[in-house]
Chains A and B, each alone.
Chain A
């Protein structure tokens, strides 16, 4: 890998010598560390502490860029990975390196890159460091615009799997045309139209002793986006040819996905409606790997992303083997000067989303539903399955009372089919009601205090939770926070999870120090479950960029 990097830097240099003189170096750094302690209350003894006692996840990106050329690398040092992260990330090295240059309009990237075609349902490589997710490509990508408004991309590469690459080779092509840009006659038309299409194929050798497997699996997608004044409408359809895999239990059925959305927005009012149908659309670089480590595509969950702690206890993840759902969101600002709006107006944000299984029927009397080595099942495209996977309604009201005080109140009602979504224990459909009340108060210039009171009530799983938070900020440099989660409804053991943290920011560098307890979690992806142990310890986080 180092050899490749040196080659990239030193061989590419002379080619673009003119540009390099005016180049800029930029980068960023992040380090999260924790020291772990014994805790009798949590049942953590010296035996089940991590052997290292101190764990750290760190990385730095360094990028050198000129007008037509850039090269960069990311060095990662996980010595060893924090609890909750896969131990296969233990180690250090250059996990990402690339060179990109633009010549005569042809944009070439060699090495690692992230990419997305359309909505990502056919291809998306991205990273989410805090979740320990990175499926970057390692290969070659070309981008070209032969005519105004026409954008072409093609790529070939393998995907990152921890500190290695997955076995499969992915080839992809994407084309997009903006009709209004390309055709002069349409340039003045109010309606803007974008049309796109992609083809993605993967190769993996068939070494299986049981199944006759397709070594090349292709998929294609078509999409459009239409912008008309305050309206936006779009849809994408993806089709995947037979792709027997560990995730779909080695069935030979085709895969399909449809995502459609409509939205409207104007000052003080907006709504959006999105619908999706996903059928057998797990698409992996390695057919034998369950889970999402090397997903070629990304299937959106279509649920609201919550920031409040108790609202993140039951997060939904798309069921790639089949689901149908909708999400609708409405935001409205009650005018100021009215009874509800008061002096500054009130913002209302309402959201509803759900997901159900898809209809599945046996292919014939003798074949069980989803039986390996068969076509699996048949499915009526428009028929919703019987089983509910997820449903959530949430409403958030936020109102500025005066120049110093702002209040935010939220209510969330969640139905979470834990058997289907995480499959970690038999709690069935978990029904939870969550209430959050937040205050933001400016004490004096630069000094503000924020409080959160949260409550989650449920009769299933771990029962009720309560949470309180107080955060004091002296902007732009300091913050100090105190919080406690209390799982008082837990029938096994009622438990407090207090945390105290403080931070200091100078320019683009931020330090945060914390001490507290973390709750235990069992996380399952694709039928592989791992325990993220409860912990007690001091954490230090440093981020910086230049």
Chain B
């Protein structure tokens, strides 16, 4: 009898396994609803770590673009050129799109040593080992993040002088939920539409001479880890204003440039809110 009891238990496990299968007959895709940011909504930072010599990276850039179309303003993508595949190389890949901050982020978070392409969604999961995400993982992590309520909201305003190429950025950070941690505000400049060489293993020839690089981080105005907002405890309703000034370099096409701001928990590096504004309309 005892034998039979165990046998039935095992058969039970077997039948549970057998029935655990969902077969999708079609349609296979969701009706895509473009995200609309109503009021002070959550905005997610998507970092795509890439390099012009990384032949698999264009796929990640395509995924970032696809997700941007879906999530609209709620997603702020940036492309960080860093690591081995971003180094100038040979006679074609002569551009150096690396930045000091980008290299230090890459090194600190161990992205390119884990491989390219890879990225992070609001730097969630650090320092556990699950902060590095392949581009196929981005959508799910973004969905998860969007389920949480915004803890802060950032408003940006820019004032650009086309003659002197000087840019003034004003930020207003509003705390929406109490936060017991120091916070850092990061301000970076990004540029899209940069035409330069890119390796793409799926292209023929692999060296694409007129590849369009988008959301490329050009400079961080707040060092590698941002500007400390001054407190270790914040309560709902706190407002912090900051101003930043920078002169834009001649080679940067300001028409395609944006200011990206992201607010991070200084202790955990987790980005709790992001924002983006174009420099020129």
Residues B10 and A144 in contact, CB atoms below 8 Å apart: yes
Stretch at the interface among B13-21, B170-178, B188-196, B243-251: B13-21
**With A88-B110, A161-B129, A163-B128 as contacts: A246 and B115 at CB distance below 8 Å:** no
A429-466 residues with Cβ-Cβ distance < 8 A to B are none
Query: Count of A residues near B, CB < 8 Å?
Result: 66
B225: CB under 8 A from chain A?
A: no
A163 touches B129 (CB 8 A): yes
Does B238 count as interface, using CB distance less than 8 angstroms?
A: no
B137, A288: Cβ atoms closer than 8 Å: yes
Q: Which residues of chain B (116-156) have a CB below 8 Å from chain A?
A: 116-118, 128-130, 132, 134, 136-137, 139-140, 142-144
Which of B17, B112, B134 makes the CB contact (< 8 A) with A530?
B112
* A214-B21 Cα distance, complex, nearest whole Å: 8
Q: Which residues of A contact B70 (CB under 8 A)?
A: 209-210
Asked if A146 contacts B3 (CB within 8 A), the reply is yes
A 245-271 contacts with B by CB, 8 A: 245-246, 252
**How many angstroms between the C-alpha atoms of A88 and B131 in the bound complex?**
9
Closest Cβ–Cβ distance, residue A52 to chain B (whole Å):
12
Alpha-carbon distance A42/B107, docked complex (angstroms): 21
A531 touches B28 (CB 8 A): no
- The residue from A86, A164, A216, A426 contacting B113, defined by CB atoms under 8 A apart: A86
Chain B min CB distance to A527 (Å): 5
Residue B7 interfacial (CB < 8 Å): yes
Say yes or no: B56 contacts A527, CB within 8 Å. Answer: yes
Interfacial chain B residues near A26, Cβ < 8 Å: none
A80 to B257, CA, bound (A): 39
Within 8 A of B (CB), among A198-242: 199-201, 203, 207-218, 220, 241-242
Partner of A87, one of B3, B56, B113, B134: B113
Contact A87 B30 (CB under 8 A): no
Is A41 interfacial (CB 8 A cutoff)?
Answer: no
Q: Please determine whether A528 and B113 come into contact, CB atoms closer than 8 angstroms.
A: no
A142 to B137: give the CA distance in the assembly, Å: 33
Q: Is the CB of A86 within 8 A of B136?
A: no
Question: 8 Å CB contacts to B: which residues of A130-159?
Answer: 142, 144, 146, 152, 154
Could you tell me the distance between the alpha carbons of A163 and B23 in the complex, rounded to whole angstroms?
Answer: 33
Q: Does B201 count as interface, using CB distance less than 8 angstroms?
A: yes
In the complex, the chain A residue whose C-beta lies closest to that of B18 is: A199
Q: What 1/0 flags go to A156-181 for Cβ under 8 Å of B?
A: 00000111100000011101000000
Other-chain residue from A106, A288, A423, A530 in contact with B114 (beta carbon distance below 8 A): A530
| Highest count of chain A CB atoms <10 Å: which of B28, B30, B107, B129 | B28
Known contacts A171-B20, A209-B139, A528-B116; 5 further A-B pairs (Cβ under 8 A) = A164-B128, A175-B14, A209-B67, A252-B24, A531-B83
